[in-house]
Amino acid sequence: MTFGAQLRSFVVIGVLCTLAYAAIYAALRAVGLAPLAANAIGLAATMGANFVANRHLTFQAGHEPLLPQLAGYAVAYALGVGASSVVLLALASALGHPGGLLDTAAAVVSGLAATAVRFVLMRIWVFRDAATQTRPDAAAEH
């Protein structure tokens, strides 16, 4: 699969997971959970679906050993949560610790940091072998 096709697949999966994350985050914040806790729980709740979809659809790595990929994804996830948390804290502070839709929007924007970190790590490390293989007809997809 070409880089462009991988990126498109990753974006579609990411949008779907982001919508689910936003709903979970908003619901947890509505019941009084702190932003960082709601962020971590929302990301954890969507990470399984994200891993499986990207493993099979984006990087087509379902034929490779699961445990090393899962371990690498867990590290990529943790680094993504760290990046997301830093951005969320900065946005919350800059926005005066908002509530409601602005709070959820800040969380979604912070999730973009996690997404960028995860895509890079998934492509160059977690699913490296599958991500860099190209099919004979991949040149025609450009």
Residues 8-29: tens digit of each pLDDT: 999 999 889 989 989 999 999 9
User: What backbone phi and psi angles, to 5 degrees, belong to 65?
Assistant: -55, 130
How far is Cα 82 from Cα 76, in angstroms, rounded to an integer? 10
pLDDT digits (tens, 9 = 90+) for 43-97: 888 888 899 999 999 999 989 999 999 999 999 888 888 888 888 888 888 988 8
Contact 58, 73 (CB under 8 A): no
Q: What is the dihedral of CA 71, 75, 76, 80, to 10 degrees?
A: 150
The token duo for 33 is 């959970």
pLDDT at 133: 63
What token pair was written down for 7? Answer: 């990126």
> What's the confidence (pLDDT) of residue 131?
64
Between the CA of residue 52 and those of 56, 135, 142, what are the distances in Å? 6, 21, 26
Do residues 29 and 104 make contact, with C-beta atoms less than 8 angstroms apart?
yes
> Is pTM beyond 0.75 here?
no
